[in-house]
Every structure is written in C-alpha cells, then in structure tokens.
Amino acid sequence: MCLAIPGKIVKIDGDTAVVDYETETRKASVSLIDDLKVGDFVIVNAGFVMTKVPEEQALKSLEAWKNAGKND
C-alpha cells in the first residue's frame, strides 16, 4: 500500500487546487504545503495535497504507471 500517482496542478483558487491526472481532475486543499504553483506535480490524498514532487520524478512515476497498466 501507500503508492500514489502524481498529478499536475492546473489551477489554484484560494485554498483549493485543481489537479490534472490526464483521465480526470480532482480538487484538493493546499493548506498543508507552502509555495505551490500552477504546473507543480503533487501527490494528493483524501482531499489534501500531501507533497510536491520534482518534475523528473513525477514523469518517471507516470511512465511506470502507464507501463504497469499495459501489463494488466
């Protein structure tokens, strides 16, 4: 358990970010993390942005998830 797919912030409005996952978007509170901006890759859980992920790591994770899906 405890794996997660990174998403990309496409909008921030006050305390709420809109995070894009290619197949869906989710809203999440940004109250736990400082200095977030549009374009950042983040991990969201239970309605909160949990952490910011460096772009290189996020792209690697997304690629790994896509490959895992091909093996289902």
Partner 1 sequence: MIDTPEMVFFKYAYPCSDELVRLKTISPAQKDLLDYFFDNNKAPKRNLLEVCFPNAIKRLKRFADDEDYWTVDNIREYFIVHHNKIIDDREGSYASCTRHMRELCKVRCGKISDIEDINGNIVYIVRYNQFEETRVSGRYLPDAKVNDRISVHWRFAIEKL
Positions in the binding site for partner 1 (CB under 8 A): 1-5, 14-15, 29, 31-34, 43, 45-46, 48, 50-51, 53-54, 57, 60-61, 64
Q: For residue 24, is it left (φ>0), alpha (ψ between -120 and 50) or beta? A: beta
Minimum Å distance from CB 44 to partner 1? 8
Contact 33, 16 (CB under 8 A): no
CB of residue 21 to partner 1, shortest distance in Å:
9
Judged by beta carbon, residue 10 or residue 32, the one nearer partner 1 is 32
Q: Does residue 9 contact residue 36 with C-beta atoms inside 8 Å? A: yes
